[in-house]
A and B are shown apart, each in its own frame.
Chain A
C-alpha cells in the first residue's frame, strides 16, 4: 500500500480552552467525552474540543479534521448536519418547540415507531437513554410487583443509581440491593438464577449483544435470545432490551427483531433523531396501562423539534436501508484494517456487529500497543477509540474508508517499528 505520510496534529487551542473549562466545570469535561473516561491515552494525542462538524467529519478547535468513527457516541447516524433532517427541524422550529401543551408531531412520531418497530404497540418519549432504561425497570416492577432485576455482567444501562455498583461514589447499597447478574450468552445461568429467585424477578435487562468496553464484543449464540424469551415467559419476567446503543443501526424494526424475538420493552435513544435530543421506550400492549400509571415526566420531554427531526431521520434511514449499508461499509472497513495490521505483523481483532465494530490489537494483553495505535490514528485524523465500540453513519463513503485504511496503515507501521 502506498501511504502519504501525515504530520501529527497539535492542540494548542484545545488545551487553552480546557484550562478555562477546568476553572468553571468540575473535571473540565466530565464524563465519557472527557480525557479520563474517554481514555485519551496518551492525553496529549487527543484534542479536547470540537468546533464544527459535517457529514462523517468534525474539526477540532485547532482546525484539525477527523474522520469520525464515534459519531458523537452514536447519535450521528445519517451524517452531521444532514440537510433533510435539519430542514425538518427548522420547519418545526419555525412553528413551535417547547410549549405548554404538546404538538401532534409527537403523535406522528409515535405512529411511525409503532409502524416501524416490530414489537412496539406504543411509544413513550423522554430525553436520554437512561431515562428509558429507568422507565423500563420501573414499569417491570410496577407490572410484576417484584423487586429483582437480572443484568448481564459487564452491563451499561446509563448512570442512574440502580445501574451502578457498590463501589461507586454516591451510590447506596440500597440502590442496588435487588440487582442480580448472569454472564452473557449463558442460558443455564439465567435459568438457575430465575429458579433460585422464583417469583422475585421483575425484569431481565440486556443489550441485544454484548457490546461492553475493553473486551471483544460478542454476538448472541444461536438460540440464545429464543431461550431468554422462553425463560422470561416461564417465570413471568419482563424482557427489557436496551437498544440505546445499537438501535437503528442493526434493524429498523428493532434489534430484538434482528435477533428473532420480541422484547416486552425496547429502549431507544442515540440514533433516533440524528443528534436531536430524544429517547423513546416502546413496548407491548400488555404494559401500556402500567406505563400510563407511572409518575415520570420532564421539562423538555415533549419538545416538538426533536420529534420532527426523528421522523425525518427514521424515514431517511428506511429509504437508504441504512442497516444493510452499515453492515457492508463496516465489513469493508474492518477487513481492510485487519489486513493492514497483518501487513505489519500485527493482529487486529474486529468484533461485534460491523455497524458498531469493536477493535483490539491482540499482540499484547495490556492494550498498550492498541492504545498507541489509536493515538497515532487520532493525531493523523482518524477518530477511533481504544476501549469502546465504534459507530458508522450514512455519510461515510468508500473513499473515506480507503483514506481511513491508509492512515491506519501508517499508524500500524509506527507502532510495529516499536
Chain B
C-alpha cells in the first residue's frame, strides 16, 4: 500500500538530499552518553518492526519469568521443603495461572455474558452461531455519545486509535465510546479481511490528509488514523505500544488462549478498569519523545547523588527474586537496579511510567499489583510493589519481583530505603532537580539553537532541554513535535535512510544526524546556514559530553 512522505511545511528552501559527504566535516569520535556495559535492553523497536513486518513474524519474548520461578523453586527445595502451597503463589505469575484465569474467564462468560451483554449489545447474540458474520450494523442507539461520534468535532480529531477484535468487535477507541462505533469498526474489519482473503495484508491507506495505518496481531486489529506528521512506520510504532499495553494488562498467553477458545470474546471485560492506561499512553506519545526514540529519559542528577540512590537500593532491597528496582520521578528515571543478566527494555519502562502516570491510586497507599512487561516476558506477570517515597508524591519506588508473597518484605525494604534517602538528603536533591525543570537550551550557550533531542544508542537513553519560547504553547509544542517526527522519519526511512539531513523550513532550520553511536535532532532559527548548523551540533555534542554524568545513567547497577 501507499507510503506517504509529507513535508514538514511549505519549504522555502529544502535541501534534504544526501549529505553523506558532509559527515567528514564533523568529528564522530565524540559520543556523549556512550557506555560499554549495557544499562538497558537496547534492541531498537523500529528496526524490529521493519524486519518483522517484512518477514511477517512478530517475535514475543517468553520464558524469562518461568525460568526465574524454576530457579526459585529449586532454591526453596534445596533449602527446605517449606510450604508446598507456595507454589500457588509462584504459579500465578507463570503459564499455569494463565490457564486458570482463562478457564475462569471463559466459563463465567458462558454463564452471564448472554444475559449481561445481550442487553447492551445485540450484535453479540448471534455471533456465536454465525461466527463468520461481521458485526451487526443495525444497532445505532441515539444518545449524545452517538451524536458525538457523528459530529464534526469527532471527525476532526487529530489522531484516532481503534482496537477491534478479529470478528470486528469494538474494543477501544481513543475518542468517543467504542460501542457507538460498531459501524466504523465493522467497515475497518471488512477492509482488513478483504485484503487478507487474497493472502495479503492491509498496511496503510492515504485518504486526503488522513493516513490510516493497520496492524494485526494475535487476533486483534489496531487502527491508527492521523492527519499529523507521523509516518506509517511511526504510526506502527504507536500501535505497537498499544498492543504492548494490552499484553501488559492481560499477558500474551491469556490473550491468545482467550480468542482461541472463544472467537467472539468481548475483550472489554478483562480490560475494564484499564481504559485509563490506553488513553494516558496515547497522550504520553503526543508529548514524550522517549516513546518515539524508544529510549529512556533520566532525571538530571549529580552522579554522586544517583550513586547514593542506587547503592541504597542495592543494600536495602537485596531480596531474592527481586528482578528490577527503580525510582521514577515525573516520567523520568532516577535510578535502576537490576538482577544480574536481566535487562529492562525502554518500551517496558514506558509502560511502567504510564502505569504510574495514569493512576492516582498509588499516591494513597502502598500497592501490590501484577504487571506484564512484554519485552521482558510476554507470557507472565511480575508482581510490582509500588509506593511513593515523599509526601508530595514525586518520587515513586517500584520493586518488581517474581515472588507473589514478597509484599511485606518489600514494604520493609521501602521503609529502610526511604529512611536512608531522607538521611542522605537524596529525596531533597531529587525534588530540587524536578523543580529546576531539567535545563534550558540557553545553558548549552549555542546561539540560534532552539531545541534538540539527543539519543545515545548504546545506552538507549536520550536527553533534551525543557521547552522554552517559542515552544511554550501547546500548539507550538505540537508543531515542534511534528518537526521531530518529520526528521526522525527522514533519517529512518526504509527506502532511503539518511545519515545527515539539513532542512530549511519556513520557521526553523532542522538538522538530523544519525551515527552508530547516537541520533541527534536539532532545531535552529530559520537563518542558520548548513556550516553554522554543523559547527553548532559539534559544539552541542561537546556540551552534552561534559554533562553526560548528570544526564545519563552510564553504569549499570545490579543486586
**Do A and B form a real pair?**
no
Q: Which residues of B contact A (CB under 8 A)?
A: none
